[in-house]
Structure 1
Amino acid sequence: MQYEIKQENDFHYIEEGNGPTLLLLHGLFGALSNWTDVVSHFSQRYRIVIPLMPIYNLPILNTNVKALSEFVHDFIKFKQYKDVILIGNSLGGHVTLVYVKNHPENIRGMVLTGSSGLYENAMGGSFPRREDYNFIKQKVEYTFYDPASASKELVDEVYGIVNDKGKLIRILSLAKSAIRHNMSDDLQFMTLPTCLIWGKNDTITPPDVAEEFHRLLPKSELHWIDKCGHAPMMEQGKEFNAILDAWLAKTFPKGE
């Protein structure tokens, strides 16, 4: 991703474009680059903000979903963003939900894609053979409908993470925290407009998870993408952007 990573205080983030603020949150093994297609498509009409979440920098005893949501709150407060639309993938969707539960006043709407928060086959659950490169490659490929979407660069990145003891401990802590922090009792009270964009072939947060989110979130719409796994904005970026574009235009006409 050829965008400037800005640094202010302890925050590292990308900020591109002008207009209503779309704040994008990556997942457990995610990175800023997960959102390349979204940034290039929307930055002509929206302010696109992607904070790098401190997944590997939190104190071990405070490595949990709530701590990440408070990091996002501190970031939004520091930047003085108003009327934000939060967009979260995987763990980033879960962080979005916890944030909206605790700080709804800052948020106009939310978009969840492959979100944890109800149930997931956690990729971060265990790595019994983490030194086996092919094993890690298969785990990464499992994220996508088309295994070819798991680039060597992505596999190398995940392999490096799970073989770094400090990072692995935090990955496991966050995966366990996500499972413990079930949001099913909270969703009925979240009345913000919500767009659910889901891969029909998601094996980590399967389609029935999307249907349950849709049932429990009062103002939600559910959109499916065929031949698509757990990261629609990466694997089917064009279709993801088309769905998001239409939903934003309909829900917040003329950016109002």
Structure 2
Amino acid sequence: MTETPQNPTVLVLHGGGGPATVGPIAAHLAESAHVLAPTIPGWNGTPRPDELDSPGALARHFLSELTDAGEHDVVVIGNSLGGWIAAEMALADTAGRVGRIALIDAVGIEVPEHPVRDIAGLPPQEIAKFSFHDPSKLVVPPPTPEGLAIVRGNQAALAAVAGDMRDQSLGERLGAITVPTLVLWGESDGVVTPDYGRAFAAAIPEARFELIPEAGHLPQLENPAAVFAALDAFLTA
């Protein structure tokens, strides 16, 4: 894990695009917090043990790491798949390891009228149409063999862990979350729409929902100032 030894402790979990997608959040919070920014096992060429085959299993994995480190009241921030894992951590925690959670364009629940868009196998330019408010902000460098291998490995890890990006039981289970919860959503997200986000927030008792303007599925990349302001206020509330 990448760490900056300050307080409070914040665990930042990335989505299918890998750790670089949440790098701005980790860098911003490192100025005032002890930041843990792990690469989820299976991403960026890291090994993924067979037992880490679901968001719930990854949640238990990270809770175990927090236990081993003696951490309590950790703020868990997750984008996309990372948000799903953060929610599962709040549900599985029985020892006060998780103090609050912030979910950024999370996936995992089933909302029949607002389904998760299937972007598996689409080229980056097509994915950008659905995941960015301004698709021109996605700069795709010329592919290298190493880069292609990482992208394909990340796609395989995402498919193995998250399947079709939903767990039919999660929506009902979210009602058991008791820690303060912030749900941030890119206003232009075409992967999981703001209405999907509102349904996610409505399933968590007293969760606060906030739209991030001029941003899609990765609002921390398109409108970082708005995301940072919302997270700073949440951490100090």
TM-score, length basis structure 1: 0.79
Partner of 2:124: 136
Q: Give the residue type in structure 1 aligned to 2:179.
A: L
The question of whether the paired residues in 2 share the 8 Å contact of 1:29 and 1:158 is answered with no
Written as runs of structure 1 = structure 2, the 5 A alignment for 1:59-70 is 59=49, 62-70=52-60
1:240 aligns with 2:231: no
Q: In structure 1, the residue corresponding to 2:99 is in which secondary structure?
A: strand
Q: What displacement does 1:182 show? A: 4.1
Partner of 1:121: 117
Partner of 2:211: 224
Aligned Cα root-mean-square deviation (Å): 2.4
Partner of 1:180: 167
After TM superposition, the structure 1 stretch with the greater mean CA deviation from structure 2, 44-53 or 170-179, is 170-179
Instruction: Give 2:99's match in structure 1, choosing from 102, 108, 113.
Output: 108
Partner of 1:77: 67
Q: What displacement does 1:98 show? A: 1.1
Q: Give the residue type in structure 2 aligned to 1:148.
A: S
Partner of 1:9: none
Q: Give the residue type in structure 2 aligned to 1:239.
A: A
Q: In structure 1, the residue corresponding to 2:3 is in which secondary structure?
A: strand
Percent identity of the aligned residues? 23
TM-score, length basis structure 2: 0.85
1:58 aligns with 2:48: yes
Q: In structure 2, the residue corresponding to 1:55 is in which secondary structure?
A: coil
Compare the two structures and name the one with the higher helix fraction.
Answer: 1
Q: Give the residue type in structure 2 aligned to 1:28.
A: G
The question of whether the paired residues in 2 share the 8 Å contact of 1:21 and 1:85 is answered with yes
The question of whether the paired residues in 2 share the 8 Å contact of 1:23 and 1:50 is answered with yes
Q: What displacement does 1:77 show? A: 1.8
Q: What displacement does 1:24 show? A: 0.3
Partner of 2:87: 97
Following the alignment from structure 1 to structure 2, what is the Cα–Cα distance between the partners of residues 158 and 209? 32
Q: Give the residue type in structure 2 aligned to 1:240.
A: V
Q: What is the CA deviation profile of residues 227-246 of structure 1, one whole-angstrom value per residue up to 9, with x for unaligned ones? A: 11001112211110011111
Q: Give the residue type in structure 1 aligned to 2:99.
A: R
Q: What displacement does 1:154 show? A: 10
Partner of 1:7: none
Instruction: Give 2:4's match in structure 1, choosing from 13, 16, 22.
Output: 16
Q: What displacement does 1:26 show? A: 0.3
The question of whether the paired residues in 1 share the 8 Å contact of 2:84 and 2:106 is answered with yes
Q: Give the residue type in structure 1 aligned to 2:117.
A: N
Query: How many pairs align?
Result: 227
The question of whether the paired residues in 2 share the 8 Å contact of 1:136 and 1:159 is answered with no
Following the alignment from structure 1 to structure 2, what is the Cα–Cα distance between the partners of residues 242 and 169? 34
Written as runs of structure 1 = structure 2, the 5 A alignment for 1:125-204 is 126-127=120-121, 135-153=123-141, 159-163=148-152, 168-176=155-163, 178-180=165-167, 182-204=169-191
